[in-house]
Amino acid sequence: MNESIPSIDLHRWKQVLQEEGYRLTGPRQVILEIMRTTDHALSPINVYDRGRKNYPRLGLVTVYRTLEKLAELGLIERVHQPDGCHRYLRAAHGHQHMLVCSNCGRVTYFSGDNLKFLFERVAGETGYQIADHWLQLFGTCPDCKANPQ
């Protein structure tokens, strides 16, 4: 059930960006590397702080624009937070759901689509024809449970 964050082909990401007309500037490459290597949902400020360690001239506007473009291209996805803010994580492969640690932001993917009965009940009660779903669960990861702060 527990699946690690999917590995990505950085070359493919770069190719997709170039095909869309985006130059691979130093700041963008730093952001790509951060998003490629994290298993935590990161806010734009998290990406900015991490990126400035390797590229001190990284601009916050560049971080926001790059994250938006990567999300638009389906390379990363928004992780909605209970407080209404977004964090970002590389996109899952195929149809997967995510568990998000409310404490540290770590994300674990899981699969399972046995939601047919729920969809039928909701459709019957509301009259909607359900076409798709997106499931995101929040809780505390094993590391944070073992080491509460």
Domains of the chain, CATH where assigned: 7-91 (1.10.10.10), 94-141 (3.30.1490.190)
* Per-residue pLDDT tens listing for the chain (149 residues): 344 444 567 788 888 888 988 888 999 999 999 998 888 889 999 999 999 999 999 999 999 999 999 999 888 888 877 777 789 988 776 667 778 888 888 888 777 667 788 888 999 999 999 887 777 888 899 999 998 87
Q: What is the pLDDT of residue 65?
A: 94
Among residues 2, 17, 145, the alpha carbon closest in space to that of 69 is found at 17
Q: What is the pLDDT of residue 23?
A: 86
- Model-level pTM? 0.71
Cβ atoms of 92 and 77 within 8 Å: the answer is: yes
Q: What is the pLDDT of residue 94?
A: 60
The one-letter code for the residue type at 70 is L
Q: What is the pLDDT of residue 34?
A: 93
Q: What is the pLDDT of residue 3?
A: 43
CA distance 41 to 102: 10
